[in-house]
Structure 1
Amino acid sequence: MSEVRLKKGKEKAVRQLHPWIFSGAVEQIKGKPQNGEIVEVKDHSGAFLARGFFNDQSRVAVRLLEWNEDVMIDESWWRMRVRRAVSARKDLLASAETNTCRLIFSEADFLPGLIVDRYADYLSVQILTSGIEKVKDIIVSELVSLLKVKGVFDRSDASARAHDGMEASFGTLYGEQPPEFVEVVENGLKYHINIAEGQKSGFFCDQRENRRIVAGYAQDKKVLDCFSYSGGFTLNALKSGASEVVSVDSSALAIETLKQNIELNGFGTKKHVAVQSDVNKYLRTLKEEQQKFDVIVLDPPKYAPSRSSLDKASRAYKDLNRMAMGLLNSGGLLATFSCSGAVDISHFKQILAWAALDAGREIQYIYQFCQPEDHPVRSSFPEGEYLKGLFCRIV
């Protein structure tokens, strides 16, 4: 087995069970490991630290998997990790109200670069690292044996694969290719999910609990759902008795899917308006029309993919929230989110405070949103905490 030896003083994070070793921490490589190959990591003096898979194309030179020197990483090890991840979701998998969730969440489930989402009888898989690519047949085999699904679809077209020197991968890995729309249930609501062409893996199940919480305040309220995608917040609000919901998204496919989901749940169109538009542009239009709302949801895409883009992202978040605050009635509620890992909750609160000052409004934070149980955060890997949000009363 090839060996990666670290520079003096660079072993601390490894001993604290952080799963990443950056290329700058590497002093010497013994052997000629291929990308995705398992290597042993040792400290400056040659003492064993951990095992993980190597990649010379990535800033993260080694992604660590195992810290026990007596445990070898073989086929049974990979199968064990998949079983443990699925077992941790057993309560969700048994739910009668929800049949979609995240089954494997990358580093959080000790499988760096592997994302697996369940959509009823189908699985959507993203393989973003060369180490997982090498063992994907084992992983798919174990998933199929555990879950008896109709098909497993590869959505590894993410740009993240380029960081590991891999090309995109797309198509059926097992069983049937999913139909154009798969019907799933979340919080008792039906959705048509486009696994092959939808955003990310097909659906954003990380907002499941947050949708339910916001809907609890929607009865008899006029709601604006921005970046609505396939209508998660919209459908939950309508189910809870909202008087009117306006849904906005720039994607024609998202709006079409949302309309299907409205019909699928029997809500009709009397209380709902779907708008295909750039959200910022539409918010300015609403201001010109002097429209007002009781509840506004802001669930934008990732504005800060890295810390280098943090300043630009902060301005974008501030402007977006400032415009939304100006559209709320006094006492109205703003549910606002960031899925940018580089933006922590303290910084997000500061952004909202700046937005409130610019909008001439005062805000009260009444609830802090987070990721659900199928998106856990390892204590040794705080980077896995990406989704945060605040429920604010605007006064």
Structure 2
Amino acid sequence: MIDVILKKGKEKAVQHRHPWVFSGAIEKVKGKPENGEIVKLLNAKGEFMAYGFYNDQSRVALRLLEWDEAVAVDEAWWRAKVGVAVAARSYILEDGFTDTCRLIFSESDYLPGLIVDKYADHLSLQILTSGMENIKPVIIDELQKLLKPASIFDKSDASSREHEGMQPSFGILAGAQPPELVEVVENGIKYGINIAEGQKSGFYCDQRDNRRVFAGYVKDKAVLDCFCYTGGFTLNAFKQGAKTVTSVDSSALAIETLKSNLTLNGFDEREHRAIQSDVNKQLRKFKEDGEMFDVIVLDPPKYAPSRSALDRAARAYKDLNRPAMLILNPGGLLATYSCSGAMDMTTFKQILAWAALDAGKQVQFIHQFCQPGDHPVSATFPEGEYLKGLLCRVL
């Protein structure tokens, strides 16, 4: 096993079991490891620190796996880690009201670069690191043994693969081709999931708990669901008695899937309107038309992929939330979210305060949203905490 030497003074994060070592913290590599190869990390004195994946094309040159020198990172090690992660989600799937969730959440499950989502009897897999790509056959085999899925579909088309020197990977890994729409149940609501063509791994199960909590506030209300995708918030709103729901998304596929999900749940006769449009543009149009709502959901894509983009993202969040506040009836509720890991909750609250000031409104924060238990946050990897949201009363 090739040795990688850490620069003097760079030991603290490794000792605290943070899984990333950046290229600038490395003093020397004794040899020429292949990208994705497991190497041994030593401190400047030559003492063992950890085993990890190496990649010289990535800013994160090492993704650490094991801090005990006596423990072999072998096939049994990988299978055990997968088994622990899968077993930890069993409580979500036991009640029969949900058969979809995230089974493996990358570094937060101590499997850097591996994401696995369960959609009924089908699995969607993303591999984002070269090291995990090397282990893929073992991962697939263990998932088959544990879950006996009808299929395992590869959705490893994320841009982060480029940073690891890898091409996108897409298609069937095991089993049969999944149907165009896989029917799943979340919170007792049915969804048709397009694994092959849907965004990310196919569905945003990280909002499962938040959708349920949000829906408790919508009975007899006029609801606007922005960035609605395939209707998570829309369907939960109708289930809990919303008077009307307007759903907005720029994706034609998302809108069509949303409509089929309404029919699937018997909500197609409800007072619903679907609008394919840019959300910011549509919010301005609602204002111009004098249209008002009682409850608004804003669940945008990631605006801040890194800390360097935070200032630009802050402006984007402000420019999104301000016009939404202007079309809320007095005392109306705004459920607004950020999935940017670089955006902390304190900053997000400040942005909303600025948006309210510009809109001439007052805002009360009445509930904080976060990611659910199948998206855990490791104590040694705070970067895994990315989803945050606020339920605001706008006066």
Q: Distance between the aligned counterparts of 2:193 and 2:171, measured in 1?
A: 16
Instruction: Read off the aligned partner of 1:192 and give its amino acid letter.
Output: G
Q: Deviations over 1:1-25 (max 9, x none)?
A: 0011000000110000000000000
Is 2:283 the counterpart of 1:279? Answer: no
Q: Match of 2:257, SS? A: helix
Moved more, 213-222 or 88-97: 88-97
Q: Distance between the aligned counterparts of 1:270 and 1:290, measured in 2?
A: 23
Is 2:10 the counterpart of 1:31? Answer: no
Q: Deviations over 1:18-48 (max 9, x none)?
A: 0000000000101221111100001000010
Is 2:228 the counterpart of 1:228? Answer: yes
Q: Match of 2:284, SS? A: helix
Equivalence for 2:377? 377
Q: Distance between the aligned counterparts of 1:265 and 1:304, measured in 2?
A: 35
Q: Distance between the aligned counterparts of 1:348 and 1:62, measured in 2?
A: 31
Equivalence for 2:19? 19
Q: Distance between the aligned counterparts of 2:270 and 2:34, measured in 1?
A: 59
Is 2:21 the counterpart of 1:49? Answer: no
Equivalence for 2:158? 158
Q: Distance between the aligned counterparts of 2:350 and 2:196, measured in 1?
A: 38
Q: Match of 2:373, SS? A: coil
Q: Distance between the aligned counterparts of 1:132 and 1:342, measured in 2?
A: 25
Is 2:34 the counterpart of 1:4? Answer: no
Instruction: Report how far residue 202 of structure 1 moved.
Output: 0.2
Q: Distance between the aligned counterparts of 2:339 and 2:108, measured in 1?
A: 16
Structure 1 residues not aligned, in runs of 5+: none
Equivalence for 1:124? 124
Instruction: Report how far residue 144 of structure 1 moved.
Output: 0.8
Q: Distance between the aligned counterparts of 1:331 and 1:73, measured in 2?
A: 56
Is the 2:221–2:243 Cα contact (8 Å) retained in structure 1?
Answer: yes
Instruction: Read off the aligned partner of 2:299 and give its amino acid letter.
Output: D
Q: Deviations over 1:101-156 (max 9, x none)?
A: 00000000000000000000100000000010001010011011111110000000
Q: Match of 1:135, SS? A: helix
Equivalence for 1:238? 238
TM-score by length of 1: 0.99
Q: Distance between the aligned counterparts of 2:69 and 2:95, measured in 1?
A: 39
Equivalence for 1:217? 217
Moved more, 86-95 or 237-246: 86-95
Alignment of 1:263-274 (within 5 A): 263-274=263-274
Instruction: Report how far residue 333 of structure 1 moved.
Output: 0.4
Q: Distance between the aligned counterparts of 1:155 and 1:239, measured in 2?
A: 31
Is the 2:11–2:43 Cα contact (8 Å) retained in structure 1?
Answer: yes
Q: Distance between the aligned counterparts of 1:176 and 1:188, measured in 2?
A: 27
Instruction: Report how far residue 95 of structure 1 moved.
Output: 2.8
Q: Distance between the aligned counterparts of 1:312 and 1:28, measured in 2?
A: 36
Q: Distance between the aligned counterparts of 1:252 and 1:220, measured in 2?
A: 28
Instruction: Report how far residue 269 of structure 1 moved.
Output: 3.8
Instruction: Read off the aligned partner of 1:21 and give its amino acid letter.
Output: V
Q: Distance between the aligned counterparts of 1:43 and 1:286, measured in 2?
A: 60
Is 2:209 the counterpart of 1:205? Answer: no
Q: Match of 1:79, SS? A: helix
Q: Deviations over 1:253-296 (max 9, x none)?
A: 00000000000000124411000000001000100111111100
Q: Percent identity?
A: 69
Equivalence for 1:324? 324
Structure 2 residues not aligned, in runs of 5+: none
Equivalence for 1:77? 77
Q: Match of 2:364, SS? A: strand
Instruction: Read off the aligned partner of 1:86 and give its amino acid letter.
Output: V
Q: Distance between the aligned counterparts of 1:253 and 1:3, measured in 2?
A: 49
TM-score by length of 2: 0.99
Q: Deviations over 1:202-254 (max 9, x none)?
A: 00000000000010001000000000000000000000000000000000000
Q: Distance between the aligned counterparts of 1:103 and 1:270, measured in 2?
A: 34
Instruction: Report how far residue 302 of structure 1 moved.
Output: 0.4
Is 2:79 the counterpart of 1:66? Answer: no
Root-mean-square deviation (CA, aligned residues, Å) is 0.6
Q: Deviations over 1:330-381 (max 9, x none)?
A: 1100000000111110100000000000000000000100000000001110
Instruction: Read off the aligned partner of 1:134 and give its amino acid letter.
Output: N
Instruction: Report how far residue 94 of structure 1 moved.
Output: 1.7
Q: Distance between the aligned counterparts of 1:229 and 1:326, measured in 2?
A: 23
Is the 2:125–2:156 Cα contact (8 Å) retained in structure 1?
Answer: yes
Runs of 4+ with deviation above 6 angstroms:
none
Instruction: Report how far residue 93 of structure 1 moved.
Output: 2.5
Q: Distance between the aligned counterparts of 1:115 and 1:303, measured in 2?
A: 21
Q: Distance between the aligned counterparts of 1:58 and 1:93, measured in 2?
A: 36
Q: Distance between the aligned counterparts of 1:31 and 1:273, measured in 2?
A: 62
Q: Distance between the aligned counterparts of 2:62 and 2:194, measured in 1?
A: 34
Q: Match of 1:287, SS? A: helix
Instruction: Report how far residue 310 of structure 1 moved.
Output: 1.1
Q: Distance between the aligned counterparts of 1:178 and 1:357, measured in 2?
A: 49
Alignment of 1:341-380 (within 5 A): 341-380=341-380
Q: Distance between the aligned counterparts of 2:160 and 2:269, measured in 1?
A: 39
**Number of paired residues?**
395
Q: Distance between the aligned counterparts of 1:183 and 1:257, measured in 2?
A: 12
Q: Distance between the aligned counterparts of 1:258 and 1:40, measured in 2?
A: 49
Q: Distance between the aligned counterparts of 2:269 and 2:43, measured in 1?
A: 64
Q: Match of 1:337, SS? A: strand
Instruction: Read off the aligned partner of 2:179 and give its amino acid letter.
Output: P
Q: Distance between the aligned counterparts of 2:95 and 2:111, measured in 1?
A: 25
